[in-house]
């Protein structure tokens, strides 16, 4: 007589198994920073994603033809690079790039409880536009607030200031500008089988976005922090700052904010917020 099958799964593992079996109805993902396991119905995920994409100051609908147009420009710029690096080769092989994907991750780093089941109206998400091999982090707010044209100007200004210490490989400033702008033009992504374009700021998964954001902020700091500051220490988009007086500090923060219409430096006093996880 055959023995009845007895599962060796724990109750928690059986619960996870049921969730995985319900994959047609549920979406399994992780939190935006801490890696928490997040499960929600596909319908809720679509509602939250549509809420993000409804921000028409950052996103707009696009198309496959727009993606193809961007790829053609990139191919044109690649030909310039090849002339500099491999002048003997004339054949250029480059296929159509795959569109990036939008991942709308729930902000879970502030959760105190292991299990949390809020109504969808209280769920805050962080949109991450990602591609295979591209950098991905939680700095989408910073990147979206960096004006692309300003970032390009900051790069050219940095090259001009340090031209005696930079090997340009015979690239001119105008060619460098074309290369950077072509790379930043790769901002078309896909969500729910529809094409969209991020029309404001830097795309998170763009390989040069982290470097451009640092150069852009450094350019703002050098041109605006000229007085009233005793100490300024920035880690990406968090700044620890001390000023000569409270009034000087307020005026000093106005100057870098005036360089960008959408990037604002907000003051948080030590008793209300610390620098990163450090309390002052």
Query: Residues 228-272: pLDDT tens digits?
Result: 778 888 776 777 778 778 787 777 777 877 776 677 777 777 665
Q: Domain spans of the chain?
A: 25-110+119-205, 225-280
Alpha helix (H) residue ranges in 90-208:
140-144, 148-161, 173-184
Residue 135: per-residue pLDDT: 47
**Per-residue tokens: 138:** 């939680």
**pLDDT range class, residue 147, cuts 50, 70, 90:** confident
Question: How many residues comprise the chain?
Answer: 280
Higher pLDDT, 38 or 166: 166
Radius of gyration of the chain measured on its C-alpha atoms: 24
Q: What CA–CA distance (Å, rounded) separates 233 from 64? A: 43
Q: How many CA atoms lie within 13 A of 133 on its CB side?
A: 1
- Give start and end residues of each alpha helix (H) in 54-87: 64-85
The pLDDT confidence band at residue 279, using thresholds 50, 70 and 90, is: very low
* Mean pLDDT score of the chain: 76
Residues 252, 224: Cα–Cα separation, whole Å: 8
Using a cut of 0.85, tell me whether the model's pTM lies above it: no
- 85-130 pLDDT, tens digit each: 666 665 555 555 677 888 777 776 555 555 666 777 777 877 777 7
* pLDDT of 15 higher than 90: no
CA angle 135, 133, 102 (to 5 degrees): 70
Would you list the DSSP string of 220-271? Answer: HHHHH--SSEEEEEEETTEEEEEESSHHHHHHHHHHHHTT-SS-------TT
Spatial distance between the Cα atoms of 257 and 3, rounded to a whole number of angstroms: 73
Please name every residue paired with 205 in a beta bridge, in sequence order, or none if there are none. Answer: none
């Amino acid at each position: 007589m055959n023995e009845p099958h007895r599962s060796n799964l724990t109750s928690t593992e059986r619960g996870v198994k049921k969730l995985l079996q319900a994959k047609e109805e549920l979406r399994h993902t992780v939190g935006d920073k801490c890696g928490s396991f997040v499960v929600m119905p596909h319908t809720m995920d679509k509602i939250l994603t549509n809420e993000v994409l409804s921000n028409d100051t950052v996103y707009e609908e696009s198309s496959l033809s727009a993606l193809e147009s961007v790829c053609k420009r990139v191919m044109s710029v690649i030909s310039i690079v090849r002339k500099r690096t491999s002048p003997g080769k004339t054949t250029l092989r480059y296929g159509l790039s795959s569109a990036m994907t939008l991942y709308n991750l729930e902000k879970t780093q502030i959760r105190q409880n292991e299990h949390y089941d809020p109504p969808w109206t209280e769920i805050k998400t962080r949109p991450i536009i990602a591609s295979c091999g591209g950098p991905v982090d939680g700095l989408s707010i910073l990147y979206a607030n960096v004006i692309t044209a300003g970032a390009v100007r900051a790069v050219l200004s940095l090259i001009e200031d340090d031209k005696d210490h930079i090997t340009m490989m015979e690239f001119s400033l105008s060619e460098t500008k074309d290369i950077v702008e072509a790379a930043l033009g790769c901002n078309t992504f896909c969500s729910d089988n529809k094409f969209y374009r991020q029309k404001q700021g830097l795309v998170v998964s763009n390989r040069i976005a982290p470097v451009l954001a640092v150069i852009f902020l450094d350019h703002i700091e050098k041109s605006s922090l000229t007085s009233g500051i005793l100490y300024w220490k920035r880690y990406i988009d968090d700044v620890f700052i001390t000023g000569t007086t409270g009034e000087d500090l307020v005026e000093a923060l106005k100057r870098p904010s005036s360089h960008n219409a959408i990037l604002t430096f907000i003051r948080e006093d030590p008793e209300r917020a610390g620098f990163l996880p450090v309390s002052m």
